[in-house]
Amino acid sequence: MKRTLAKYRESAFHAFIKKHEKYAPLLFFVGGFIFDSLTLGRIDRTYDLVVLCFHMTFLSLTLYLYNLVDDGKWKDTIIDRYQDYFPLAIQFFFGGLSSAYVIYFFRSVSLTKTAYFFIILLALLFANEFLKKRISNKYLQFSVYYFISFTFFTFMIPVFIKQMNVWIFLLSGLVSLVSTLLLITVIYRKSPSTRKEVHLGKLIGIVMSIYVLINLFYFFKLIPPVPLALYDGVVAHDVYKEDNKYVVTYETDVWYKFWRKHRAKYIQEPGENVYIFSSIFAPTALEKSIFHRWNYYNEVSENWEVVDNIGYDITGGRDGGYRGYTYKNNVKEGLWKVEVLTEEELVLGVISFEIIEDPSLKPRGVVVKEF
C-alpha cells in the first residue's frame, strides 16, 4: 500500500512537471535562489561551507548524468527513470550557487563599478530562459557551469588557506578551469550524443574566453574582492573606541534612503574633524590590509582628485565585521567620496557625501551608535 501511494505521488509530480515544463526550470532556479537566501549567513560558517560544497558537487554530478543519459547507458535503471528531473536539478543548483554570490557580495554599502560583474553573472544565469533549447544547449550549459565554478573557488580557496591576494585569485581561476575542462573531456569521450552535438574545440574556446574575461575584470578592478564584504560605511562627526566597541556619532538620513545609514549632506562645524568609519567582513583568521582613499571633486577641472590614502589592518572572524576609521581635518567644502579598498586597490565600497560649511546650520538627526 505504501509503495503504491509513493508511486502515485511520484507519477502525479511527474505529470505536474510535464504539464508546466515551460516554467519549471525557472521555478527551480528561483527555488534554489530563495533556499540559500533564507539559510546562508557567512562564508566561513560550517553550514554554509557544507551547503555550497554540496551544491557544487551535485551540480557537477547531475551535469554528468544529464549529458550521458541520452546515450541509453542507464536504460531501465533508476537513473533513466528520473532523467526528466535532471534539468530541474541543474537549475536548482545554479540558483543556489548564484544566490550565495549575491548574498555575500551585495552586502556592500555602495554599488560601485563592480556592479558590471553582477550584470554579467545575472545575464549568464537567466540566458537559458530566453533560448529555445534552454538548458539542453550544451554551450550555454558549460559556460554557466564554468562561471559558477570560478566564483565558487574564488570563495572557497581564500577561506580554506586563509589568504587573499592576486596569486590566490589566479590559483582559484586555474583550479576551476582545470576541473571544468576535465568534466567536459570526460563527458565528451563517454557520450556519443555529445560528440554529435558539440564541437570540442569551440566549447573549450568559449570556456577559455570566459577565463580570460574574468581575469581582465579582476585586473581592471571590476570584480568584488572576494571573500571580503563591507558591512557598514559611515561619514561621522566623532568616532572613539570604548570597551572594545566603536562609538560613532553621525547624522541619519530620511527613512526612505534605506541603503545608507548616514546623511549625505555633512554639516561641518568650525575646526571639526571628518571621520569615516567602516566595518568589514573577513573570514576567520584571514588577515588583510585595508585603506580609505579620500577623494575631492574639483569643480573647476571636473575631476575627482585623490587627497589622501590612510590604511589600517584587519583580522577576520567577527560576525559584525572588523572595524576601523580614518579622519581628516581642514577639509574643503564640496563633494567627497571615500573608497574602501584592499591593498590591491579592489573596491569594497564607496562612501559619498557633501561637506557644507555654514555656521547657521547645525547637524540634525544626530545619533550615537555602538559598532
Residue 224 counted as domain residue: no
206 domain residue, yes or no: yes
pLDDT score at 108: 46
What is the sign of the dihedral through the CA atoms of 50, 103, 285 and 172? Answer: positive
Report the distance separating Cα 200 and Cα 75, nearest Å: 26
Question: What contacts 70, CB < 8 A, 6 or more positions away?
Answer: 191, 193
Q: pLDDT tens, 311-324?
A: 877 766 666 567 88
207 and 152 share a domain?
Answer: yes
Residues 215 and 336 in one domain: no
- What distances in angstroms separate CA 137 from CA 127, 144, 194, 206, one per listed residue? 11, 11, 11, 13
CATH number at residue 302: 2.60.40.1930
pLDDT score for 310: 93
Q: Give pLDDT, residue 72.
A: 74
Domain extent at residue 120 = 2-219
Q: Is residue 155 part of a domain?
A: yes
Task: Tell me, yes or no, whether 31 and 60 share the same domain.
Answer: yes
Positions of the chain with pLDDT under 50: 1-10, 108-110, 128, 131-133
Residue 353: predicted pLDDT = 94
Residues in the chain: 371
Instruction: Give yes or no: residues 38 and 180 share one domain.
Output: yes
Which long-range contacts does 206-214 make (Cβ < 8 Å, 24+ apart)? 206/139, 206/142, 206/143, 207/142, 207/143, 207/146, 207/177, 207/180, 207/181, 208/177, 210/143, 210/146, 210/147, 210/150, 211/146, 211/150, 211/173, 211/177, 214/147, 214/150, 214/173
- Residue pair 333/270 in contact (Cβ under 8 Å)? The answer is no
199, 294: one domain = no
pLDDT digits (tens, 9 = 90+) for 223-239: 777 777 787 889 999 99
